[in-house]
Amino acid sequence: MQFGFWGINYKNAQLAVRDRTSFTDAMKLEFFQKAEASGVEQCMVLSTCNRSEVYYLYEEEGQQEKIKKIYKEMFPDVELEKYLLNRRGEEALAYLFRIAAGLESLVLGEDQILGQVKEALDYSRTMGYSKKELNKIVRDAVTCAKQIKTELKISEKPLSVSYIGIQKLEASCGIAGKKILVIGSGKTAVLALKYLYEYSNIQVTACSRTYTHAKRLRKQFPELMVIPFEEWRQVIDTCDIVISATSSPHLIVRKNDFSPKMPMTFLDLAAPRDIDISLEEDSLITLFNLDTLQTIAAENQKERERLREESEKVIEEKLQETLVWLRQSRMDATIESLQQRCSDIVADGYEYLNRKMELSTREQKLLKKVLNASLQRLLREPIQELKRLDSEEEQEEYKQMVRQLFQI
């Protein structure tokens, strides 16, 4: 039994292609059923905005092409031949381990993919298309990813300038209990608001050149106070923190707009700048802008790259454990047959002796235990030897030998 995968991802297929190769749950089930009809009984579909991949266990090499054919038939209107990637064996296993750990993600080390892998396995198992082997493989990958995230904390090195900016504010002046002005209503401003509301007892006022856009923010942030853009100068003097994230080509906050009467911290998330850098000349003002934040983001990216190398070492170690288990599991059916043969012999012997002898309940139990222990002792070393077999050729030879010797 070998492990393999076919699929596309953000590295080799543009968004327009990925959008057209997304699996719904109904399509996943259809894929499972067609794969089973081709002889592949265990498979899993991982379908996200950045990838559309199928993982499976197969017995015969020809089944690889059958899975590819089924995959392509699921999306008849997409020319997939030039995009599809394929891996098998140890290479496919290592790829899944890296996927779960976020090492193959668009944002290196991100956490969301781990939950998506677990959901993909849950669906496959619920539908009856993931059994002992696939369950073991995916769970090992998930366990390894959790160890990497716990020990190396690769995802805790932020790359979002909005998040880094909010962290800088917290380190500089603290956020809880503060009065805050947010200028802008686009994606960057929304991200900043999202991170701000992780802190308690804050009073946030927002404004935007388009007042209706600013008012829409209240659907996501009900506690937010919204004012017309022209009124921000009347509010700024009462604020501890000012965040600006507009798409204006000109400065929004200039030095002569106000005179600070207390310490204030400014966060400029705009490019080009929204906030006049000459504000820093005032001893009451602290200013952070994209130059500082992007430097931190670049340093964090370098640290994530370093941690990637450490993560690969963890994966290699855990991957070998899974490979050993898989090699041994190929003999499970033969070992189970041997043990069943042993149980049948014990049952036959016990029934015969029980008919010939008058035994108490205690003696009956003792007799059954002795018979079973004796045969298990005889089989212990052969079973251990079967588990140690490494190559598929040797395993197949021993399977045939056991069938002949024990008539199973």
pLDDT at 196: 96
Residue recorded with tokens 């396995």: 121
| 346 or 206: which leads in pLDDT | 206
pLDDT value at residue 343: 81
CA–CA–CA angle 176, 178, 183 (5° rounding): 115
Choose the weakest-confidence range: 36-40, 53-57, 220-224, 387-391: 387-391
**Sheet hosting strand 85-88, strand order edge to edge:** 42-47, 51-58, 2-9, 85-88
Does residue 391 surpass a pLDDT of 70? no
Given a cut of 70, whether residue 259 has pLDDT beyond it is yes
Q: What is the mean pLDDT of residues 252-259?
A: 89
pLDDT digits (tens, 9 = 90+) for 270-314: 999 999 999 999 999 999 999 989 999 899 999 999 999 999 999
Asked whether the predicted pLDDT for residue 389 surpasses 70, the reply is no
- Burial, 388: exposed, middle or buried (Cβ in 10 Å; 0-12, 13-18, 19+)? exposed
Q: Is the pLDDT of residue 193 over 70?
A: yes
Residue of 342, 348, 351, 350 lying closest to 406 (CA atoms) = 342
Q: Where residue 135 falls among pLDDT bands split at 50, 70, 90?
A: very high
Plot region of 393 (φ>0 → left; ψ -120 to 50 → alpha; else → beta): alpha
pLDDT at 265: 97
Burial class (CB in 10 A: 0-12, 13-18, 19+), 183: buried
Q: Kindly report, residue by residue over 157-175, the tens digit of the pLDDT.
A: 888 899 999 999 999 999 9
Tally of CB atoms within 10 A around 395: 17
* SS3 state at 5: strand
Token pair, residue 118, equals 């677990």
Interval 335-363 mean pLDDT? 80
Average pLDDT of the segment spanning 2-24: 94
* Chain segment 89-110, per-residue pLDDT in tens: 999 999 999 999 999 998 899 9
What is the per-residue pLDDT across 225-248, written as a single tens digit (0 to 9) for each?
999 999 999 999 899 999 999 999
Active site (catalytic) residues: 49
What pLDDT does residue 245 have?
95
Q: DSSP strand E in 147-284: where?
A: 179-183, 203-207, 225-226, 241-244, 264-268
Backbone angles phi, psi at 140, to 5 degrees: -65, -40
Residue 216 makes CB contacts below 8 A (sequence gap 6+) with 185
Q: Which residue has the tokens 């197969």?
A: 58
Residues paired with residue 288 on neighbouring β-strands, in sequence order: 267
Highest mean pLDDT among 25-29, 58-62, 155-159, 322-326: 25-29
Q: Quick one: pLDDT band at residue 333, thresholds 50, 70, 90? A: low
Q: State residue 187's pLDDT score.
A: 93
Q: What pLDDT band is residue 3 in, cutting at 50, 70 and 90?
A: very high
Share the mean pLDDT of the chain.
Answer: 90
Instruction: Find out whether 168 and 143 touch, Cβ atoms under 8 Å.
Output: no
